[in-house]
């Protein structure tokens, strides 16, 4: 197995650990990425099955083509002639379905790298959307987090799932003094999307 293939598999194996993305969404996104690869390679994905198991990172791609008499195949992406297929499986006859497993390596290094980039991009988009959905209706709610970084004008706080919350200096009590690792209780004061990025503001005033 090539390094690029391993990297791609690692990418979607990581999906099972994403805290804000549900299982059906994970499967849907992964399947669509690989179906896009199939369409680019074969012109269609209608005769392909993509089986994704995000729990262990397994992926299977199966392609079905109809066995045709020699000289009667009109579409090599959907059909395969008898002379060709009997070299692979002599038991097949005209009218049978020839089912073959498609390996990731067969797509080529460039396609695999492009798929990896697409996966990373899609998961980041999903993460941002899910974080926004999680917090948009919780304005006014008290939350406890852990101080991760202190800046001059604001403090970065992480919730129990590692999501970033911002506490501006103007939203802190004058006597507040925080350092990394401190526990802090605050109220969710504003939730908005800015340039496709969720921004959750918390306040102690």
Mean local confidence (pLDDT), 135-158: 96
Worst-scoring range by mean pLDDT, 3-12, 147-156, 185-194?
3-12
Instruction: Please state whether the predicted TM-score (pTM) of the whole model is above 0.75.
Output: no
Structural domains for the chain: 3-135 (3.30.1480), 142-203 (2.40.50.140)
Worst-scoring range by mean pLDDT, 22-26, 82-86, 123-127, 149-153?
22-26
Strands (E), 42-141: 48-53, 58-68, 79-81, 97-101
CB 43 within 8 A of CB 77: yes
Measured CA to CA, the distance from residue 154 to residue 1 in angstroms comes to 47
Whether the predicted pLDDT of 4 surpasses 60 = no
Q: What is the pLDDT of residues 89-110, one digit of tens each?
A: 999 999 999 999 998 889 988 8
Q: What is the pLDDT of residues 161-191, one digit of tens each?
A: 899 999 999 999 999 999 999 999 999 999 9
**Encoded tokens for 118:** 């697409």
What is the sign, positive or negative, of the torsion defined by CA atoms of 180, 182, 186, 188? positive
3-state SS assignment for residue 34: helix
Closest C-alpha to 47, from 108, 104, 95, 97: 97
pLDDT at 7: 52
CB 179 within 8 A of CB 147: yes
Mean local confidence (pLDDT), 15-19: 56
């Amino acid at each position: 197995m090539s390094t690029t293939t391993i990297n791609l598999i690692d990418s979607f194996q990581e999906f099972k650990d994403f805290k804000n993305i549900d299982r059906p969404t994970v499967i849907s996104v992964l399947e669509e990425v690989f179906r896009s690869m199939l369409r680019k390679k074969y012109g269609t994905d209608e005769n392909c099955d993509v089986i994704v198991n995000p729990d262990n990172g397994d992926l299977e791609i199966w392609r079905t083509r109809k066995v045709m008499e020699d000289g009667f195949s009109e579409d090599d992406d959907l059909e395969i002639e008898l002379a060709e297929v009997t070299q692979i499986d002599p038991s097949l006859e005209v009218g049978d379905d020839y089912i073959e497993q498609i390996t990731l390596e067969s797509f080529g290094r460039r396609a695999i790298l492009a798929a990896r980039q697409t996966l990373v991009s899609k998961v980041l988009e999903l993460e941002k959307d899910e974080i926004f959905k999680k917090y948009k209706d919780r304005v006014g709610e008290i939350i406890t987090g852990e101080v991760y970084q202190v800046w001059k004008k604001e403090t970065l706080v992480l919730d129990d799932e590692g999501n970033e919350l911002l506490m501006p200096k103007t939203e802190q009590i004058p006597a507040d003094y925080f350092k990394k690792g401190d526990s802090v209780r605050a109220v969710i004061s504003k939730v908005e999307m800015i340039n496709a990025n969720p921004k959750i503001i918390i306040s102690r005033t």
